[in-house]
Amino acid sequence: MLNDFAVQLVAAGRKNGGLTGSSFVSDSTKVFAEKGSYSGGFLKSVTILGAMLLSLFAATTASAQNHPSATLSDTGIVQIPAGQPIAPTYLVDLSHLDFSSDQQMIDWVGGKSAEGFAMRAIPHMNKAVLMLDCQDHPQWSCTDWNGLLYAKFSENPLNEGSLNLTTNE
């Protein structure tokens, strides 16, 4: 946009005769406009990258707020709510756990994935996303899903000694 403005400014100066020779348009502006942006490409790339990252953050935050919640018990068992239609994704609040780092949260959550479901950590929100493979199990009820989740999560229950985690109650 700045590059387009500089080109238009130089063109207007040439057309009106005199603007390009005055202090109104400097020689660096003319070079900027005639030879292309010496930093405009970099600036444009940084601006686009920043906008993409901001959009990704906003989309993650907005989409994360639209998911139903699953619960994480004191022993580390995740369960989806009964009496509601099965959703393909759930948010699991991890804020009551005391992870020593984001990486510890990512490792712990990543280790909970199994055939039929996956979990991914969202450290900046202190949450995880539980993603159910509803396509492979379209007829499963809440009881079926909770049975699978119980079986996986009870293999390595959460207690004060596991991963040096403590609950903040």
Integer angstrom CA distances of residue 83 from 9, 26, 116, 149: 66, 71, 21, 17
Hey, what amino acid is at 141?
S
pLDDT value of position 91:
96
44 lies in a domain?
yes
Residue 77 and residue 47 share a domain? no
Tens of each residue's pLDDT in the chain, 169 residues: 443 443 344 444 444 444 444 444 455 444 444 555 445 577 767 677 666 666 655 555 545 457 899 999 888 889 999 988 999 999 999 988 888 899 999 988 888 888 999 999 999 999 999 999 999 989 999 999 999 999 988 887 765 455 545 444 4
pLDDT value of position 147:
94
Nearest to 151 by CA among 91, 90, 79: 79
- Distance of alpha carbon 92 from alpha carbon 68, whole angstroms: 9
Domain end marker among 41, 64, 87: 64
169 lies in a domain?
no
Residue 55 and residue 88 share a domain? no
Residue 122 and residue 53 share a domain? no
Integer angstrom CA distances of residue 74 from 68, 71, 157: 20, 10, 9
Residue 81 and residue 50 share a domain? no
The number of residues in the chain equals 169
Residue 123 and residue 54 share a domain? no
Residue 145 and residue 87 share a domain? yes
Q: Which domain holds residue 47?
A: 2-64
